Amino acid sequence: MEDESFQPNESGFKQYATSHQQNFEGATPILRTHDLLTIKSIPIKPLFCDTPVAAVDVSSIKIGETETGLLCAIRGAIVWKHDSRYSYLRFGPFPFHITEENKKEIYNLFKHHSFEISEDANAPNLANVPIRMGSLLERWLQLGISCSAHDSVILWDGSLTAGTADSPLNVVSQLLEISRNRLNTILAFSKTTNLRLLGHKLTDLGEKSWPPCLLQINGFPPQSGPVFSLGNVYVAKLTQGICSFRLDIDKEISLERGIEAVQKLLGNDLLIQSYPETLRLAHTFSTFTATEVIGIQHLIAQQYGLRIIARPNIRRLLFGPFGKGSEG
């Protein structure tokens, strides 16, 4: 890519923040409405014991385009709370130049290192490579914290579903098994969900609940298409406020142990609007800001002698102020 030119992506920091709760390339999510669902309200209270809390999050972002491909960057963060202190470890940002020629090599390098899978897989289309790389990095960090932590509460961003290209069933099952063997409990918080009950979004059920409490949802099928649900599904209303979240807890542990983990979270972490502070900090430390994107663009331009150009925006030329969309 030396001496090539690339076009900085002006709004890239808005477009390519990784959403790990999506299902890519036609995967079937678990979002059907069921009439056989039952709801059980479980009041909980903080359990004040010295339990470490850890959280993992990853972001990927599009930096710009070159004549032959695209420039992207990924970054991850691990945050943990122990002995009344928050600590964090950042990984990245790691910039990549992805082309049609090298995308398979880069994607399989990530996949083999993260999942220890020897066979090659077809790389996704070029636009989806940054998101998929971010997902692979996230699984690798989750594996690291699951192997190193003991008797801890580990927070994931997203749900405990598997069967998509970025969340293979055997990989997610292995992560959960490793955590169980080390007496860790994984709590997966979803900021958004497609799950509905009688046409209403699942998280809306927590509006009239008195916190802190869990709404246990029973009756969802364990599989929908290629997607498997590996967790028991709850609605978590843990503090006063307007927010409730979908919470998945490993199915292979007892219901009592899962509820106890939520109580330990209440007793050891700060929660605002029902959301744990460790998970919020992990998101903050991994997310790219507009200033960071500009800095990475200029660093790459200086490091490799690239010329920064501004190609005309076709949508703006054609539609003026109405030219919104992926190029707007």
39-87 tens-digit pLDDT: 888 999 999 999 999 999 999 999 999 889 999 999 999 999 988 899 9
Measured between alpha carbons, how far apart are the two ends of the chain, in Å?
A: 26
Residue 118 has pLDDT above 80, yes or no: no
- Write the DSSP string, 51-106: --EEEEEEEEEEEEEESSEEEEEEEEEEEEEETTEEEEEEEEEEEEEEETTTHHHH
The pLDDT of residue 32 is 47
- Write the DSSP string, 193-239: ---EETTEEGGGGGTTPPSSEEEEEE---SEETTEEE-EEEEEEE-S
Instruction: Count how many Cα atoms sit within 13 Å of the Cα of residue 216 in the half-sphere of its side chain.
Output: 14
Any residues with CB less than 8 A from the CB of 43 and at least 6 apart, and which? 210, 212, 213
Range name among 40-49, 183-192, 207-216 with the lowest pLDDT average = 207-216
Range name among 158-172, 237-251, 287-301 with the lowest pLDDT average = 158-172
The pLDDT of residue 29 is 43
- The pTM for the full model equals 0.83
d(CA 68, CA 99): 6
Between these two residues, 306 and 201, which has the higher pLDDT value?
306
- 264-291 burial, b at 16+ Cβ within 10 Å, e below that, comes to bbbebbebeebbbbbbbbbbebbbbeee
The pLDDT of residue 325 is 60
Angle at 14 between CA 13 and CA 17, to 5 degrees: 75
